A = this chain, B = another copy of it.
Amino acid sequence: MAHSYRLVVSCPDQVGIVSRVSGFIAAQGGSITEANQHSDLATGRFFMRYEIRFASSVDDEILRIAFAPIAETFSMDWAFHDTQRRKRIVLMVSRASHCLVDLLYRWKAGELDCDIPCVISNHEDLRDLVEWHGIDFHHIPVPAADKTHAFEETQQRIEAARADAVVLARYMQILPPSLCERYADRVINIHHSFLPSFAGARPYHQAYERGVKLIGATCHYVTQELDAGPIIEQDVHRISHCHTAQDLVRFGRDIEKTVLARGLRWHLEDRVLIHGNKTVVFA
């Protein structure tokens, strides 16, 4: 039975990497069905992503042991991802439902190849919607006075769910540094502005006040510095003087939905490689 892997590599650039890696794959009987490479001239770093199909089932462990010497030669950060193993994604939401409705639709329609073990929210509002999809819903209130316990419980839920990644689908709370660090490069946020413009609170109202002619949304990995992590995807929508701040919020919901869905899909397919505070996206 056919078996597919994704090989993702980043390492210092030098002559011969592609030759060695593609030679290895051919030797293992693998066929490269999609290939992406990028050489960053500014930093001298090389990035690659291969989709590889083997005609019959392959043992992960053997593949990894066989590849390790090549990886060492080139000082690679690397991973083989078995495409049959679906990533486990925990969604976190607050009260606004648009991103959640959108992600659950896509998940149900097969556009997002992942499991969703649970949804965590600081409000009860979206329980019905989540449970209608057959997904567990955990209500963890986050009292302004003391958020410590809430985030401890949150972390326990995430770990109990054996989450590969966490998606903040308009969660509206700032995660504590410990959680950011514990899930570094694995927490995806949607920010409702075209970053770096209008970081922080009420970005649509900031945009309205400034009189910009396009508004946007940004999907990025969460780091300890607010709204400053590596950007995965962005998009914009044209507005005019006719539109109120409320209209901006409404248009923005549509951008947020599509930008987050694209960013998550790419993450699930191992298309996003982090490079310092930037990303390489093999979309």
Contacts and interface: CB of A to CB of B under 8 A. Distances in A.
Interface of A: 15-16, 18-19, 22-23, 25-26, 29-35, 37-42, 97-98, 101-102, 105, 109, 111, 132, 194-198, 210-214, 216, 230-236, 240-242, 244, 250, 254, 258, 275, 277-281, 283
A212 B234 CA distance: 8
Given A18-B22, A23-B23, A212 B241 contact: no
Tell me the interface secondary structure of chain A in the complex: mixed
A105 B97 contact: yes
A231 B211 contact: yes
B212 A195 contact: yes
B35 A18 contact: yes
Given A35-B35, A236-B236, A241-B278, A194 B214 contact: yes
A218 to B, nearest CB: 8
A213 B234 contact: yes
Nearest to A233: B213
B210 A231 contact: yes
B244 A230 contact: no
Given A15-B29, A23-B19, A25-B19, A214 B241 contact: no
19 contacts: A15-B30, A18-B26, A18-B35, A19-B25, A32-B37, A32-B39, A97-B105, A98-B109, A195-B197, A196-B197, A211-B231, A211-B277, A213-B232, A213-B233, A213-B281, A214-B234, A236-B236, A241-B279, A241-B281
